[in-house]
Chains A and B, each alone.
Chain A
Amino acid sequence: AQKITQTQPGMFVQEKEAVTLDCTYDTSDQSYGLFWYKQPSSGEMIFLIYQGSYDEQNATEGRYSLNFQKARKSANLVISASQLGDSAMYFCAMREGLAGSSNTGKLIFGQGTTLQVKP
């Protein structure tokens, strides 16, 4: 069963506008972490933001925020004031359990969303 679902294969956004990238997840664990990574055409995966399952506040990192809705099992990434350099593939990922658990070190990725920012 697919555990991370990103339903938007590709998206366009106008420069300086905000955009939301969708991510839903499936897990029976109470403890888990959700991550968003950006992958430019160069291939390197760049960490953007993290949300722990017990975190009550939505995570924010500069222009990135994570809209965490635990009951709906969704963890959408919001990018405010899009820039041309934001054009890339974006991956949502989940880690079940916490440090030292049986799933230590394993991230499950979604299929990704390609974002193109138009000038």
Chain B
Amino acid sequence: KAGVTQTPRYLIKTRGQQVTLSCSPISGHRSVSWYQQTPGQGLQFLFEYFSETQRNKGNFPGRFSGRQFSNSRSEMNVSTLELGDSALYLCASSLELAGQETQYFGPGTRLLVL
């Protein structure tokens, strides 16, 4: 079974631009979660989608948004990029069934904002 895939793997943007990152979950997984990883703040939860609905949201400004499609693929968007948005963005998918809550991560997208 193919793992979680994320595109693009690397991205360079300038301040003020916007960016869209994509995540394809493991086949059959309906939950997709997004995380931001920085050296200073560590790994922080952004949001989680299940069946095209956002079920949980972390403490990030409204510039960070996401969505999920009917095939469970998810995108996250960051508008008006700031230097501090430079990070590794990880997405994870899970079955979200009792006893099968393990999240499996993709390789991440490294975003550099100049």
A→B interface (CB under 8 Å): 33, 35, 37, 42-47, 50, 52, 91, 93, 95, 98-100, 102-112
* Chain B positions 25 through 63: 1 when the CB is less than 8 Å from some CB of chain A, otherwise 0: 000000101010000001111001110000110100000
Is the CB–CB distance between A104 and B50 below 8 Å?
yes
- Which of A93, A99, A112 has the largest count of B CB atoms less than 10 A from its CB? A99
The minimal Cβ–Cβ distance linking B112 to chain A, given in whole angstroms, is 13
Please, how many angstroms separate the alpha-carbon atoms of A33 and B100 in the complex?
Answer: 10
Q: Would B107 and A44 count as touching, CB distance under 8 A? A: yes
Q: Are B101 and A43 in contact (CB under 8 A)?
A: no
Residue B22 at the A interface, CB < 8 A?
no
12 CB contacts below 8 A, A to B, read: A43-B90, A47-B102, A47-B105, A91-B43, A93-B43, A98-B98, A102-B56, A104-B56, A105-B103, A106-B45, A106-B48, A109-B44
Nearest 6 pairs between A and B by C-beta?
A105-B48, A45-B105, A109-B43, A44-B107, A105-B33, A43-B108
Whole-angstrom distance from the CB of A91 to the nearest CB of chain B? 7
Also in contact, A104 and B102, with CB within 8 A (given A43-B108, A99-B97, A112-B42): no
Partner of B96 from the list A47, A91, A99 (CB cut-off 8 Å) is A99
- Interface of chain B: mostly helix, strand, loop or mixed: strand
Judged by DSSP, the binding face of A is loop
A107 in complex: contacting residue of B49, B103, B107, B110, CB < 8 Å: B103
B42, A105: Cβ atoms closer than 8 Å: no
A105 to B111, CA, bound (A): 23
B72 within 8 A of A: no
* Closest chain A residue to B104, Cβ basis: A47
Report the Cα distance A45→B88, complex, angstroms.
Answer: 11
Q: Which of A33, A35, A37, A109 is the one whose CB lies under 8 Å from B42?
A: A109
B24 interfacial contact with A, CB 8 Å: no
Distance of B50 from chain A, by nearest CB (Å): 7
Whether the pair A106, B33 counts as a contact (CB closer than 8 A) is yes
CB nearest neighbor in A for B58: A106
- Identify which of residues 67-114 in chain B touch chain A, using a CB-to-CB cut-off of 8 Å: 88, 90, 92, 94, 96-108, 110
